[in-house]
Amino acid sequence: MNDLTPIQAYIKENFSENSCELMRDLNLMLVPCVKIPTTESGMKEFNHILELAEESGLENVIEFSRSGGVTVRRDKIRRGVGLRVLSSVLELVIVDFPRCIRFQFRSESQKKGLDISGRKAFSEFKKVCRRFGVDLEDYAIEDGEEIKKQIPAPLIGVIKAKLGVLYEGCHHIDFHSAYMGALAETGEPFRMIVDYIYNKREKEENEEKKNQWKAVLTNTFGYMQSKIAGYRWAHFSLEMIKRTREKLFDIEERLEKSGRIPLFFNTDGIWYAGEIYHGEGEGKKAGEWENNHENAKIYFKSPGCYAFEENGVFKPVCKGRYKFDSIKPRDKWTWEDFFKLDEYNTIEFAFVPGKEKLGRIVQE
């Protein structure tokens, strides 16, 4: 242990199975990744790792390519770290010969398989495309950054619901894999590709694998329009969200004309009150819709926080993390807990780069 640097000793003691030998080319997709949750204890652990890296004499010398990888060959790479901040992830790559490892400070899904990155999801989507003889590189564009600016925000928020009011007898229309379903609606070859992935997910019995297929359907959309992808498939993302918004507006109009009360948009679905609605576009395929919640009680606290109860089961839907999350797991919350949330602030984290040091995560 005396011959090891502080960070080497820490990795050996805690993450020996999560690191790997430095390969000829530093391919980040092959470097094991340790996910650290976005909690106060997670913040302290991540900052401790940064401190140990500094004590080991590691500097921020690893640069990331446009595609998010590291292109430096093994014979050119130096001991050091690479830090990058993505939309919801802080990633730290550590190379301290002969080992390398990645740490990500990120929110983690409670369900195994759903937490794969957009890059990994897109990689799996490309594999399926190749299976059908489709090379997505043939669809890449050069002006994607300009297209990205045209992408509207997802539909999230109040329609006719009043905040702070408990509604009963409410239902929810959900579009199956809405964004990928919208891509399928552009026609072949994407209809058969999306249907293949969607059917694999529906038929898979292993929960983790089922969730992995779901992640391919949900996480690919964001990567296509991302800087890390060079915005090269932003036109797909634009088409996917435009079609989804149009379908939601159409359903809203149909609900209102039929005497129902459209209450609230939530990205790929809509809550409403009145009799259960059935109509055009209803079905089981990707891009079609069905009522996935019926006769529920629902309370909208804010556009980003609401809760509903269906068949005696309570479910909160709140963006971000609350301090109350560290007191009681969200799947154990009750109506009483939900109504007390205003007593607890949401937890926000930010990374502050250092001029001489590597920087630290702080709680805002």
Q: Same structural domain for residues 138 and 17?
A: no
Task: Provide the domain limits for residue 292.
Answer: 118-319
Q: How many residues does the chain have?
A: 364
Is 328 part of a structural domain of the chain? no
192/226 same-domain check: yes
pLDDT, position 83 = 87
Residue 324 lies in a domain: no
pLDDT at 323: 80
Instruction: Mark whether 80 and 40 lie in a shared domain.
Output: yes
Does 332 fall in a domain? no
Position 172 scores a pLDDT of: 98
- C-alpha angle 343-349-355 in degrees, rounded to nearest 5: 145
98 & 129 share domain:
no
What is the number of domains present in the chain? 2
Same-domain pairing of 73 and 186: no
Closest CA to 242 of 292, 198, 179: 179
Global pTM value: 0.78
Indicate if 263 and 291 belong to the same structural domain: yes
Residues 125 and 244 in one domain: yes
Does the residue 339 lie in any domain?
A: no
**Tokens (6 digits) for 8:** 């080497």
Q: What is the pLDDT of residues 123-177, one digit of tens each?
A: 999 999 999 999 999 999 999 999 999 999 999 999 999 999 999 999 999 999 9
How far from 303 is each of 11, 142, 299, CA to CA, in Å? 42, 36, 11
With respect to residue 261, please indicate whether it lies within any of the assigned structural domains. Answer: yes
* pLDDT per residue rounded down to tens, the chain (364 residues): 458 888 888 888 888 776 666 555 566 667 778 888 888 888 899 999 999 999 999 988 887 776 666 655 555 667 888 888 876 788 888 888 777 888 988 776 555 656 677 888 999 999 999 999 999 999 999 999 999 999 999 999 999 999 999 999 999 999 999 999 999 999 889 999 999 999 999 999 999 899 999 999 999 999 999 988 899 999 999 999 999 999 999 999 999 999 999 999 999 999 999 999 999 999 999 999 999 999 999 999 998 899 999 999 999 999 877 888 878 889 999 999 999 988 877 667 788 887 668 888 887 6
| Neighbouring C-beta atoms of residue 110, cutoff 10 Å | 9
Q: Which residue shows structure tokens 């590189």?
A: 137
CATH code of 313's domain: 3.90.1600.10
136 and 189 both lie in a single domain: yes
Q: Is residue 331 part of a domain?
A: no
Q: Are residues 211 and 357 in the same domain?
A: no
Q: Of the candidates 289, 173, 151, 305, which has an alpha carbon nearest to the alpha carbon of residue 222?
A: 151
CA angle 267, 269, 272 (to 5 degrees): 125
Instruction: Name the nearest CA neighbour of 201 among 140, 111, 139, 137.
Output: 111
For residues 291 and 219, state if they share a domain.
Answer: yes
Question: Are 300 and 354 within one domain?
Answer: no
Q: Which two tokens stand for residue 31?
A: 């470097």
pLDDT at 77: 67
Among 158, 285, 185, smallest CA distance to 243 is for 185
**Which pLDDT score, from 0 to 100, does residue 105 have?**
87
131/51 Cα distance (integer angstroms):
46
Pairing verdict, β 33-36 and 99-106: parallel
Is residue 337 included in any domain, yes or no?
no
Q: Which residues in the chain belong to E strands, given as ranges?
A: 20-21, 33-36, 80-85, 89-96, 99-106, 156-158, 166-175, 261-266, 269-273, 289-302, 305-310, 313-318, 321-322, 346-347, 349-352, 360-363
Amino acid at 243: R
Is residue 333, in this structure, part of any structural domain at all? Answer: no
Same structural domain, 74 and 201: no
Strand partners, 83: 92
